[in-house]
Amino acid sequence: MSRKLAFVTSKDDGNVDFHVAKAAISKDVSRVYDDNSHILTDFLYPLYLIHKVVSSNYEELDNIVDRAQRELDLQSSKPLITLDPYDQAIELMVELNRCLLNILTSQSLFLLKARQLVKDQFGENSEEYQEFECLRKQLHKASVSYRFCYELRNYAQHYGIPSNKLAIDYISGEQPVLTVSIAKNKLLKGGYEWKTHGLEALNRMEDMFDLMPHIKNYRDVANKLFLQLYNSCEDKLTQFHSIVADIKEKAQAPQKVRFFFVCNFDDNDSQIDTEEIPYTFARKLENYISTFKDMSTTCNK
C-alpha cells in the first residue's frame, strides 16, 4: 500500500482546496511511522479512554461536594433550629452514592484494563509490563486506601451503597462541615465476605470514618499508574511527532491545517481511500498528562 500526505487549506470564500503530495512516502518511512503510531492507536488511546472515564467520575464527585458545600454555606445564615438536616441530606446522599459507585466500578475496570493492555502490547516478560506490575504492587502494599476501596467496589456491587452516613455539622458562626462517612460495623455485618487485603484495611479504620480521603488516595493510584504507562511510551511519541513533521515538510504542508494520508491514490480516482494520522489525539494526550507530571512513578525494587 502506498501513502501520500493530503491536506486541506481554507479559501476566502469559505471553501477549501484539497492538496496531495506528489510523491508517496517511502516504505522505510512508512514502517517507522507504523511502529510509532500503533503505540498511540492500539495502546495509549484505549488507555486514555478508560482513565478519562475514571477522571471524569472523580471530577463529578468534586463538583457535587463543592455545590453542596456552597448551598450549606448559604443556609448557615438562618437560625439553626429552622434547618432540617434531612431536607439537605437525602438527595445529596443519592447523588454522592451514585457517583461513588461510578468511581469504584470505573477504577476497577481501569486497573484490570491497564494491566491487560500493557501485557498485550509489550508482553508479559517485557520491561514495561514488569515495571507496571512492580509499581502496582508497591502502591497496593503501601496504600490502605487502595486495598480498602478496591474491595469496597465488590461490596457495593452486590451488598450495599458505599457511604451509609452523611454528617452535616452546623456550628453557630462557623462554616457547616460536610462529612461523607462509613459506619464500619455496617460493612462487616452486611453479609459480604471481605477478602483478606480488604478486611485488613477495613479493620484499620475507626468505627465511623470519613470516606473522602480514601477516595482521594485511590484517585492518586490511578493517576500514578497511568502516568507511568505514558512515560514508558514517551520516546515513541517523540519519534511519532518527528516523523510526521518530516512527512509534512516534504509535502510542503502548511502549519495548522488538517492533514491525513490518501492510500493508493490516483488522480483519476473518483473515490479516495483515506487514513487518519492521530496527531490530534497525541496533542490532546500530552495536554491531559501534563496535570499529572509532578507525581512520582518510580518503582523501588
Cβ pair 166, 237 in contact under 8 A: no
Angle formed by the axes of helices 45-75 and 85-122, nearest 10° = 170
How many helical (H) and strand (E) elements, i.e. helices and strands, does the chain have?
Answer: 10, 7
Q: What angle do CA 134, 140, 143 make, to 5 degrees?
A: 130
Q: How far apart are CA 264 and CA 2, in angstroms?
A: 5
Of the candidates 285, 249, 222, 218, the one whose C-alpha atom is nearest the C-alpha of residue 37 is: 285
Query: Which residue bears the cell 490502605?
Result: 144
Domain layout of the chain by residue ranges: 3-292
- For 5, 133, 162, 261, 275, the CA distances from 11, given in Å and listed in that order, are 20, 52, 57, 21, 24
Q: What is the pLDDT of residue 112?
A: 97
Of the candidates 113, 131, 116, 142, the one whose C-alpha atom is nearest the C-alpha of residue 54 is: 113
**Quick check: helix, strand or coil at residue 177?**
strand
Q: What is the pLDDT of residue 284?
A: 94
Residues in the chain: 301
Of the candidates 137, 180, 141, the one whose C-alpha atom is nearest the C-alpha of residue 161 is: 180
Assign 3-state DSSP to the chain and report helix, strand, coil percentages, each to 5: 60, 10, 25
Q: What is the pLDDT of residue 243?
A: 96
Is the C-alpha dihedral spanning 201, 205, 208, 214 positive or negative? negative
pLDDT in tens, the chain (301 residues): 789 999 999 988 889 999 999 899 999 999 999 999 999 999 999 999 999 999 999 999 999 999 888 887 777 777 666 666 667 678 888 899 999 999 999 999 999 999 999 999 999 999 999 999 999 999 999 999 999 999 999 999 889 888 888 777 766 667 778 888 899 999 998 889 999 999 999 999 999 999 999 999 999 999 999 999 999 999 999 999 999 999 999 999 998 899 999 998 776 666 789 999 999 999 999 999 988 766 666 666 6
Q: Which helix (H) or strand (E) holds 134?
A: helix 127-142
